[in-house]
Structures are given as C-alpha cells and as structure tokens.
Amino acid sequence: MPESHRQHFQDELHRLEEQTLGALDLVVTTLDRTLEALEHHDIELAAIVVADDDRIDGRFLEVHQGVLSLLALQAPVASDLRVVAALLHVIKHAERMGDQCVNIAKILPIVGHDPPVNQEILGRIEQMGVLARSEVSQSKQAFALRDVALAEDLVRQDEQINRLNRECFHLAVDVGEQVAFVVTGLFREFSDASRVSP
C-alpha cells in the first residue's frame, strides 16, 4: 500500500476509533439520565432518554458504515484488522447499552409518578447503574490506552453487578414464595439451581 494511502487509512481508522469511544461517552450520559429518572420517577427525563437514543443509534450506523467503507477501499494489516474488528464489537455493545437504558426509561411512564416501589430492589438497580457507568468509563479508558490490566479489572466490577442482579431476583423469588404461602397455607423455599451462594 503506498505511503499516502497508508496514512489516509490510519487517519480514518483513528477517526472511527474516536467516534466509537465517543459513543461510550454518550452511553455514560444516558446512564446518568436513566438513573436520575429512575430515582426521581421523572417521566419527562425518561422521555429524553428515549428520544436521545437516536444519537447512539446514529453513531452506531456511522461507525459501522465507516468501517465497511474503509475495508472496501483498503486492505488493513493484521494489527489494524484487530482494531477494526474490536471497533465493530464495541460500537455494537454501546448501541445495546443505550437500548437497555431506553427499556428502563420506557417503564417509568407506565408506572406513573408514584409507582409502588420496593426500595431495596430500587437501591440495587441504582447500584448496578452506578457500577455500569464506572465500567463503561473504564472500558473506554482501557481501550484508548490499550491497557490490558485496566481491561481485566472490569471482570471484578462485572462480578459486583452480577451479584446485585442475583440479589434482585432472589427478592423476586422471595415474593413468589409468599404467593405460594398465601395460596397453600404452607411456607416453603423454592429450589432454584440458579441461586449462587454469596
């Protein structure tokens, strides 16, 4: 590949990486708004989260199309091809994270301003959101710096989110056990193979 073409390829790849990592910034903003909307039962803010998802979707399309165009014009070397593949993976997950925020935001108008809330479950969901926000920020930094140790530390944080998620579902199973008690008059703990000891 001629040097001028190679430089153009590198410049375009760098621009696509910046767009991709910028999508993670958009996700962090969306997470912040979603958590605030959830905490305050703010239906208007929830509507903004839903409407702003178009920005993340648009970024996904820009990066995806940009990568395909870049590949169609020039054949990257192996190290660049790894970056290209990683960018497609990262932008896909950024778009999915935005969709998850939208799913949460869409629930708020259904339950209204004063929904029945289990504060324990809400607290865990908010903790998961704060941890997810931290993970997204750290994953962006790890990618930008090519820092494997920082990337591997994400596993520890993810384990915390998984634990909180299991706790939420344990609470839901506890409610189910109470339903069985009301119906049968006998209390029994449901057996669930997915339960993991703390």
- In this predicted structure, the answer to whether residue 74 has a pLDDT above a threshold of 50 is yes
Q: What is the pLDDT of residues 175-194, one digit of tens each?
A: 677 777 777 878 778 765 44
Q: What is the pLDDT of residue 182?
A: 77
Residue 57: both structure tokens together: 């979707």
Residue 140: both structure tokens together: 């962006």
Q: What is the pLDDT of residue 107?
A: 80
Q: What is the pLDDT of residue 198?
A: 46
Neighbouring C-beta atoms of residue 30, cutoff 10 Å: 26
pTM recorded for the entire structure: 0.79
CA–CA gap between residue 55 and residue 46 (Å, rounded): 15
Strand (E) positions, the chain? Answer: none
Query: What does the CA dihedral 109, 112, 118, 122 come to, rounded to 10 degrees?
Result: 40
Q: What is the pLDDT of residue 136?
A: 94
- Our CA angle for 84, 78, 144, nearest 5°, is 45
Q: What is the pLDDT of residues 126-162, one digit of tens each?
A: 898 999 999 999 999 999 999 999 999 999 888 998 8
Is residue 45 a contact partner of residue 101, using CB atoms and an 8 Å limit?
Answer: no
